[in-house]
Structure 1
């Protein structure tokens, strides 16, 4: 069977966009760590969300949409989950290698995918994910992994699960405009924490280019690319490819932050990736959730 060049291009383009989006998110996380010595993870999260909310409000203009009281409640839950996910993830990568933090955080969407597990294959993916976690945390402690940082990453995973569930409901009426309001709510929630921790250091003009770069790389650019990719590929394919993100995070940490992992940690991350991809491929199709912004 011959595959036409136009068909190959139609497949290659969304895949390339998604890979660029994942690389952008993890590069943004690496860049955000350069802010930690000045404003801490708390201030870096606040700056990212503030700049991202301004960008997304200007681009998506959510005030043009009409929200009911019920939809606003869903958007509020979505924004709180988004803020908690971003905050806990940045708190994690203070002391946890980026690839490990992403892998631990990925247990959240994996749990959502397996929430209604009934078939044998589903329990295979659960067992594989648990094996990955069992390998990751004990081996990580042997290699200096901070348990508190690992718990922050797992907490981010819980928020990510809440983000998916709330995002499906909140985004049903207004799509990406919901995302702009969600990021604004997250910024309002996290900004006081950042200010309380970093104080006037957050107003340093020198930080503005870096904070803007983090907002673009971690939110505006990947979100836009992922939305384009979603319209050009099946949701199941999208979810399977997204399962590669822990590996992309590990490579980003190695390249930009010089964070090396042991063989056991790579195997553990691989187990979580396979579990996530397998769960995506074998679960029944669901409506697409809004794309997370780590």
Structure 2
């Protein structure tokens, strides 16, 4: 059952594991933190404690979340206590797994990196995906006015259900539409997990003093920025690498989880739109790569 290190780890039965883009990149050998095959992916799980080290805050039978980094697509998992979190009240296991990677990333990005203030306008690119849907929820819960930028058809009802105030299809002329929706002023923050060909217009969408958050490159191409635009318009392009931040600031995991638990208490529920049995994890990752998943997919065990 247990690995040799399990005596000082929390051992849990996995009930749900989130499907996220870093898991996909890891299996493709494209993630910045490489894993040596063979390995089990899975960086966000929810489950029930089987055994916990003496002196930890966890106890047998407790519902918990865990951020193991790898290994979550499993029936049982041993995780250091520092990477285990209490399950927020009001969430089921699937929702618990879904609130980890994406919601923590965007909460970190919006609060620590962009300094979001209530009342600011936030444009979310790639808003129908995992990061994008989480960004809509978190930004709205923190008091922002949210514009959802989206390429996928037939998603407006879903995006408005998450809290988007406006939906902007990312077709030709989208920048003018976004400007019209802000009375020509532009937005204060752009959340960009996409990169690619929308990046230049996303910079132009910023109001003076605005911040563009770089969260990833799901669109494939890594864009470049002409820094004279930043200078002349007093705007910023800000990197938001949550995993790298945690490596040097591990206490931020619990701090961010506690902040999200407050949002859950206020009604936030992650949008679990697809579930797969644990044994179909590879299929779930293929569907994520093919753009078939809107919102968040989760593997369920039992």
Q: TM-score range by the shorter chain?
A: under 0.3
TM-score by structure 2 length?
0.27
TM-score by structure 1 length?
0.27
Greater relative contact order structure (CA < 8 Å, 6+ sep):
1
